[in-house]
Chains A and B, each alone.
Chain A
Amino acid sequence: MSEQAVASLAERVVPFDLGVPIIATRFLGATAAFACGEEMVALVGADGAATRVAVHGGAILCATGDARRIVTGGDDGRVVALDADGAIEVVATDAKRRWIDSVALHADGAVAWSAGKTVFVRTAKGDIKSLDVPSTPGGLAFAPRGFRLAIAHYNGVTLWFPNMAGTPEFWEWKGSHLAIGFSRDGKFLITAMHEPALHGWRVADQRHMRMSGYPSRVKSMDWSADGKWLATSGADELILWPFQSKDGPTGKPPVMLAAPNRSCVAALACHPAEEVVAAGYGDGTLRLVRVSDGAEIPVRAATAAGPDDASGAISALAWDARGQMLAFGCADGAAGLLKL
C-alpha cells in the first residue's frame, strides 16, 4: 500500500449484489469465492462478473478454504469443495444427513468437519477417522504444525491427533466455546465463547488467559501477518491483543484502534503482509486500519438505516494472497472487490 494519504478508497471498489446473504469469502487465486447463506457459492472475477455454482441443497452453515478451494458444510449433510473453475468435489455426505456445523482444512489437504457430536477427518491419503466429543462442536482448527485438530465444545476444547491411537487431551474451561484458532506459530490456542469474551491457552503448559470486556460476542478474529497481534470483532473499536511475548496478553491491555463506530466490528481480515486490518462493521461500514498508529482509510460508507439496523452488516472479508485485493460481502447480499 502506498504511504501517501488517501481520503477514501471507495472509488476503487467494484460493487455488485448477490441478492442473498453472504457468510464467507476467500480468494482462489484471482477469483473471489463468496459462500452464500443458501445453496450457492458465487465465483467472481476482477470485473465483478459472478458465476453462481449450486453446492448445497439447503442452508450453507460453515465455510473455510485455502488458496485452491473453498470448502462448505450444509444442512443437507454434505461437505463440498469448490475450485476457481467451478469444479465440485463432494468430500463427504453424512450417513444420517445431519447438519454439518463446522469445517477446517489442513495445509496438507486434509479436511475436518463435524456433524452432531462426531468430528470427522479425511486425511490427505483419503482415510476417514472420527471422534465423538462430549457436546456438539462450535468450531474446529488444525494446528499449524503436526497433524493435530483442536475441537471447541462445551466446557473446553479437545485436542486430537487423528493419526495416533491414544486418548485425546481435554483442556477444561467452563462455558460454551465456539470459534477456535491457533496463533500462527502454534504456541497459543484461542476460542471465542458464547458470552462476549475470548479464552486462550498457552499450548506448552495450558496456562489460561481470559480476554474480556467486549459489548458483543466475538465472531471474527484473525492474526496479523507477523503473528504478533490477534485482531477481533465485537466492539465499536478494533480490538487487538498483544501476542509478542511468551505470556501472550496476560497482564496486558488490548490496543483499541479506529474511531468508535455507531455499531460494532462484525468481520475483519488482517492484510497478508502489512500491519493493516480490514474492519467491517454492523452498519455496513468498511475501513482499512493501520496497526502502528490507528490511521484509517474509509472503503465503504454505512448502509444501515439506524444504529440498530444490522441487516446490511459486513459478514465476510478476505484479502488475496498478495494483499492487493480485498473481497467483502454483506448480510443483505451486497458485495464488492477493492483493488489497491
Chain B
Amino acid sequence: MSDKIPVTVLTGYLGAGKTTLLNRILSEPHGRKYAVIVNEFGEIGIDNDLVIGADEEVFEMNNGCVCCTVRGDLVRIMGGLMRRKGKFDAIIVETTGLADPAPVAQTFFVDDDVRAHAALDAVVTVADAKWLSDRLKDAPEAKNQIAFADVIVLNKTDLVSADELAEVEGRIRAINPYARLIRAERCQVALADVLERRAFDLDRILEIEPGFLNTGDGHDHHGHDHGHDHDHDHNHDHGHGDGLKHYHDEDMQSLSLRADRPVDPARFMPWLQALVARDGKNILRCKGILSFKDDDERYVFQGVHMMLDGTHQRPWRDGEARESRVIFIGRDLPEQAIRDGFAACIAA
C-alpha cells in the first residue's frame, strides 16, 4: 500500500472553487510534488509539466453491467505518468463540474495496472455555501458529488449568514453525514485536511463514525444540540431555530447499521454481494467494519456501486468493543430490506 501513489479526486459543481483550490495546492510551499490531471487546460495558473489535460472519456465495461463505467482516459494517463514515477509524490484528478465521481473511483477498483501503482486517496468535493442548497434541488450532479465525498470543502462561507450556513450544512449532512466537512473562504483550508487522507485505505476505514458536528478546523466547537427540531418536511420551509437542522433528502439517503453481536460471514458476504448486485446502481458508497463469529480479526470492506473490496484488517484489540458497523449512501435505498437483511446476518 505504502508504495502506491495516492490519488485525490477533486470534484465540485461549476463555480464552487475547484480551480482556486487546485492553484493553492500547486503554489503552496508544502514540499510535495503533485501531478495534476485537469479537464480544462489554461485554468491552472501554474506552469508545471506534470499538469495533464484529460477528456473525461467514460466507457462501459463489457460485462453487461451498465453502472460499471470506467474513465479510459485515466487508465491511459496513469500508464503514462507511471513512466515518470519518482518525479511526483501524489496525483490529483480534477473532474468537470458536471461529472459523476463514480467512473473515476471505479477506475481505481477495476483496472489492474492502475491498481498496481496507485490507490484512491479520497474524493474531495468543493461546495459553494451560497448556491449549494439551490443546486441540490435542481442539479443531480451536485448531489452525487456531495454523496460521494470523503471530504467536503464548504467554500465561500463569508458570503452567507449564520442561518444560511446552518441550512446548507444541514442539507449536506442529510445526504452524507460521514464526510469530513471543512468550512472555508476562498478555499483557504489546511492542505493536510484535503490531501493524502487515505480515506479509501482499508487500514483507515475506522473513521466511519459520523462526525456530525465536525466542521471548520475539525473541533466540536459549535455546540449545536442536534436532535431537537427534527424537520422531515422534505426540503422546504425549514424553521429558523439556531440548532443544526436535520433535513431529509427526498432521494439521497445514508443508512448506518450496527450490531453488538458477531456477524455470520457465511450469511453476510452473500447478502452483501447480492445487495450490491441488485441495488448497486443506487448505492454510491458503502463501507463497513465487521466482527465475524469465531474470528479474532476485524474485517473491513468498502464499495462503489457494484464493486466491493474487502480484507481482514487486523486483530481486534484487547478491550476494544467488537462491534460491527456498516454504512450505505445512496439513492432510494430500500431501508427496511437492508435493515432486515443485515439483522438476519447476525450469528445466533
Contact = CB atoms under 8 A, between A and B. Distances in A.
Interface string A38-74: 1000000000000000000011110000000000000
Interface in A61-92: 61, 75
B75 interface: yes
A217 interface: yes
A75 B50 CA distance: 10
Given A21-B83, A61-B83, A99-B52, A136 B76 contact: yes
A175 B59 contact: yes
Contact residue range for chain B?
A: 20 to 34
A136 B112 CA distance: 20
A217 B70 CA distance: 15
A75 B80 contact: yes
B216 interface: no
B297 interface: no
Interface string A87-110: 000000000001101000000000
A136 B59 contact: no
Interface stretch (A143-151, A189-197, A241-249): A189-197
B62 A116 contact: no
Contacts of A176: 59, 70, 72, 75
A194 B59 contact: yes
Given A135-B72, A136-B72, A194-B72, A59 B80 contact: yes
B70 A60 contact: no
Contacts of A61: 80, 83
Interface in A240-289: none
B112 A194 contact: no
A175 B62 contact: yes
Contact of A216 (B52, B84, B112): B112
B63 interface: yes
Given A38-B84, A58-B84, A154 B62 contact: no
Contacts of A58: 49, 84
B83 A174 contact: no
A23 B83 CA distance: 9
Given A176-B72, A195-B63, A59 B83 contact: yes
Contacts of A193: 62
B57 A154 contact: yes
A101 B54 CA distance: 13
A333 interface: no
Interface in A169-210: 174-176, 193-195, 197
Nearest to B75: A194
A217 B112 contact: yes
A217 B113 CA distance: 9
Contacts of B116: 310
Contact of B62 (A21, A38, A197, A217): A197
Q: 8 smallest A-B Cβ distances: which pairs? A: A59-B83, A175-B62, A37-B83, A176-B59, A176-B72, A154-B59, A59-B84, A135-B57
Interface of A: 21, 23, 37-38, 58-61, 75, 98-99, 101, 116-117, 135-136, 138, 154-155, 174-176, 193-195, 197, 216-217, 310
